[in-house]
Chains A and B, each alone.
Chain A
Amino acid sequence: MHASPSQTLRADVVVIGTGAGGAPVAARLAEAGMDVVVLEAGPRLEPAQLTGDEGEMTAALYTLHVAQGSGLSLYAGNCVGGSTLINDALCWRPPPEVLASWHEEHGLDAFSAAAFGAHVDRAWEDVHASPTGPDHLNRNARRLALGATRLGWAGEAMPRSVKGCANLGMCNFGCPSGAKQSTARTYIPQAEAAGARIVPNTRVDQIEVKGGRAQAVLASRIDPVTRLRVGTLRVQARLVCVAAGVLGTPALLLRSGIACVAAGAGAGVQLHTSLHVTARFLEPVHGYYGPTMAYAVSEFSDVNGRTGPGFMLENTAVHPIATASALPGFGPAHARLMSELPFLARTLVVLRDQARGRVRLGAAGAPELHYSLGVSDLLRLRHGMVAIAQAYLAAGALEVYLPLNGSSPVRTESELARIPAQPLDPAQVSLLYAVHLFGGACMARGPDRGACDQDGRLFGVEGVVVSDASSLPSNTGVNPQITILANALRIAEAVVTRGTAS
């Protein structure tokens, strides 16, 4: 639906965000008979608009921030479907060690394996998470798998949330075939079928609180082309569900001046920091065909029963922009490598960071993440980078290109051994980034420890729940889509059980 300037809507519930944290809540509450309005800052793209063009889709679907203190690039979805429209469809159940930590150390009973498992099963089914068979393991994934196997490392094909994958290699550009089961294809249509109203191009500026209770949200209507503010919208509702992402949710709470959560809002942000390693093979790899990501080396993980240093290695697509940005150096050598794109393979490190950062308000109330990687994180990133190089050399790579500006190609194990055993220098890494963000409005036992209770209810303010990854107390060590969906379903169920008024 389209709201005109200075319009007011009334609903039982207003949900802010259409990604993994917001869409399931919208669907379940609408199905429970509540009148739901869903606001999304980004546009709603029709399937025909998902062209698969890396440049066009990056501009249309993504938002980019840069973390203060580390220079990390932070990417997120900015569209109906949120980050589920641009993720790689990877599905991991929340690791038992992580749930045990949330349950026992953070005192959140809802995350006992028995209590949370049913929601995980439901999310798994809802998005059609299913094993990735050999038809969907491209040569890019197989190079990593071959290297891992030769080195005796643990690894596996990752389940993905797809139906009828056509191997377009466009998972993170919206999946033009429509195979990926993003929330734009699952929960959002379900919510609409149950009567929910979806309002795209609408950025929430503030939650209006009176007498300790949320009354409404105030939003700006955004021109879909210019992205300039063209009007305002006020949505009056008995319940505000905030799912604007790990940068957006804390920033909204802070902008709204909700003093009682001042200690918790913005704090405790954790990431999975990533970097890419590229290798060149004699035979074509064609790393742009097939699923963008499909195979993981779990040898170095510290979850799911493993006791490694705490990172995963996952193959990733060889698209021009992303590859060019991650390759080291510049000039003729860089151009020559780009001309060999069909022969390149790429893998990334998914680090389970130990660092924690904080979202603060920057200019004009925009979120600003302050996040510095610690020595342990930078050492483990180096370990992950070297491990990928080892795997590629074992798989027969001619050369491996570390993402360190000024570095030389690595051709042998002995050359690899000469890399200094020092923490990585973030400013030397050609592309250091994160797409998995957690915390910033964490669930906790009490207001002295976080921003909301285990049902997502904001401490000290009635009528606000937080249902996205910002409510999670820590990072997960695996791709978090299923965990976020399951948590949102759990929070929605709690709302239905108690009714919106409480």
Chain B
Amino acid sequence: MSAPPLGAHADDVASALSALDRRAFLRLAGALIVAGSGPLGCHSGHSERGPDGGLEQLTPRTYAVFQAAAERVLGPGPAELVHRGVVNPAEIADRWLARLPELAPPLRAGLLVLEFAPFPLLPKLRPFTALPPSAQDAVLADLMGSSLDWKRTLFKGIKSFACLTFYSAAPSRALTGYPGPFGGPAGAEAIAQAMEEEE
């Protein structure tokens, strides 16, 4: 799927930045305009369609951006489970946001910034979902280590939500060695045995 020209998304990015931090947006608006004529790329690996059941809070676009970001944030083992469709962080995220709708606008805004903000706001000239993995990592590293508060906050928000959504799925436990959850008497017996073995 080819990405629409940046001009079509300039309002989205501006609105997203504004929602993140109005002052930061004002400082960066000039740069955004200058960067508006930069080259663009194509989405490669992530569908914009979203899950079959439809989306409540994420848009198809933010769904795809979150899924792509989650794979890079969580690292190779988790990314493989996501890629194989065993765990779907973006779908879980959408369900979470339906319960906590007040968190949806800032997350959507942040994901749009991650997707569309070009150089010099972020070290990229194409949408995040169109970048190769190494370039996506470079963007995330830029957010994480930035001297700008809004960038570090954006990284923190995306990472927190990626961890919440991926590690809440039962198949993720195979990657961590977590033997839980332990409900009921059977769990109590297993734990008692394990705690005895520790002594």
Name the contact of B191 in the complex, choosing from A51, A166, A342 (C-beta under 8 A).
Answer: A166
List residues of chain B with CB within 8 A of the CB of A135: 195
- Whether B132 sits at the interface, judged by CB under 8 Å, is no
Q: Are A52 and B183 in contact (CB under 8 A)?
A: yes
Q: B152 and A51: CB pair below 8 A?
A: no
Interface string of B51-83 (1 = CB under 8 A from A): 000000000000000000000111111100000
* Contact A427–B152 (Cβ < 8 Å): yes
Query: Taking the complex as formed, is A24 at the interface, i.e. its CB lies under 8 A from any CB of chain B?
Result: no
Given contacts A58-B168, A330-B140, contact A288 B179 (CB under 8 A): yes
Q: How large is the interface on A (under 10, 10 to 19, 20 to 34, 35 or more residues)?
A: 35 or more
Residues of A within 8 A of B102 (CB): 362-363, 366
Q: Which residues of A contact B10 (CB under 8 A)?
A: none
The answer to whether B160 touches A431, judged by C-beta atoms less than 8 angstroms apart, is yes
Instruction: State whether the Cβ of A35 lies closer than 8 Å to any Cβ in chain B.
Output: no
B176 to chain A, nearest CB (A): 4
How far is A71 from B144 in the complex, measured between Cα atoms in Å? 15
User: Contact at A167–B188, with CB atoms within 8 Å?
Assistant: yes
Instruction: Specify which chain A residues have a CB less than 8 angstroms from the CB of B96 in the assembled complex.
Output: 59
Contact with B177, one of A177, A329, A342 (Cβ below 8 angstroms): A342
Docked CA distance A328–B76 (Å): 16
B180 engages A286 (CB within 8 Å):
no
Bits for B155-199, please: 1 = Cβ < 8 Å to A, else 0: 110011001101111101101111111111101100110110010
Q: A390-431 vs B: 1/0 string, CB under 8 Å? A: 000000000000000110000000000000000001011011
Q: Give CA–CA (A51, B177) in the complex, Å.
A: 19
**Shortest Cβ distance from residue B38 to the other chain A in the assembled complex, whole angstroms:** 26
Q: A64-B100, A341-B176 are in contact. Are A51 and B74 (CB under 8 A)?
A: no
User: In the complex, A166 Cα to B160 Cα: how many Å?
Assistant: 31
Residue of A nearest to B146 (CB): A427
Is A332 part of the contact surface with B, judged by Cβ < 8 Å? Answer: yes
Instruction: Give the chain A neighbours of B185 by CB distance below 8 A.
Output: 166
| Chain A residue contacts of B191, Cβ below 8 A | 166-169, 289-290
Whole-angstrom distance between the Cβ of A203 and the nearest chain B Cβ: 14
Q: Number of contacts between A and B (CB, 8 Å)?
A: 160
From A169, A336, A430, B75 is in contact (CB under 8 Å) with A336
Contacts of A332 in B (CB 8 A): 75-76
The answer on a CB contact under 8 Å between B99 and A427 is: no
CA A231 – CA B99 in complex, angstroms? 18
B74 close to A335 (CB less than 8 A): yes
Judge whether B153 is part of the interface by a CB distance below 8 angstroms.
Answer: yes
Measured CB to CB, the closest approach of chain B to A69, in angstroms, equals 11
| B145 at interface, CB cutoff 8 A | yes
Q: Give the total of B residues in contact with A, Cβ under 8 Å.
A: 52
Do most interface residues of chain B lie in helix, strand or loop, or is the interface mixed?
helix
Report B198 CB to chain A, min CB distance, Å: 6
* B195-A341 in contact (CB<8A): no
Say whether A335 contacts B76, CB under 8 Å: yes
Query: Within 8 Å of chain A (Cβ to Cβ): is B149?
Result: yes
Residues of chain B with a CB closer than 8 A to A289's CB? 191, 194-195
Question: Given A321-B168, A325-B163, A405-B152, A64 and B103 touching (CB < 8 A)?
Answer: yes
Give the distance in Å from the alpha carbon of A208 to the alpha carbon of B5 in the complex: 54
* C-alpha spacing A368/B101, complex, angstroms: 14
Compute how far the CA of A406 lies from the CA of B144 in the bound complex, rounded to whole angstroms: 7
Q: Report yes or no: A428 in contact with B152, Cβ–Cβ below 8 A.
A: yes
Across the interface, which residues of A come within 8 angstroms of B100, CB to CB? 63-64
Contacting pair B145 A406 (CB below 8 A): yes
With A64-B103, A289-B194 in contact, is A341–B187 under 8 Å at CB? no
Do the beta carbons of A288 and B156 come within 8 Å of each other?
no
Chain B residues, Cβ within 8 Å of A427: 149, 152-153, 156
Interchain CB contact under 8 A, B176 and A173: no
Question: Cβ of B173 and Cβ of A320 under 8 Å apart?
Answer: yes
B12: interface (CB < 8 Å): no
User: Which single residue of chain B is at the shortest CB-CB distance from A65?
Assistant: B102
Contacts A71-B153, A330-B74 known; 15 new A-B pairs at CB < 8 A: A59-B95, A139-B198, A166-B185, A166-B187, A176-B183, A176-B184, A288-B180, A330-B144, A331-B73, A331-B140, A335-B77, A338-B176, A366-B102, A406-B144, A430-B159
Subset of 17 A-B contacts with CB under 8 Å: A135-B195, A138-B195, A166-B188, A167-B188, A168-B191, A227-B99, A289-B195, A320-B173, A321-B167, A330-B75, A330-B144, A335-B77, A339-B77, A341-B176, A363-B102, A427-B156, A430-B156
6 cross-chain pairs, A with B, having the tightest CB-CB distances, nearest first: A55-B168, A335-B75, A52-B181, A324-B163, A166-B188, A427-B152
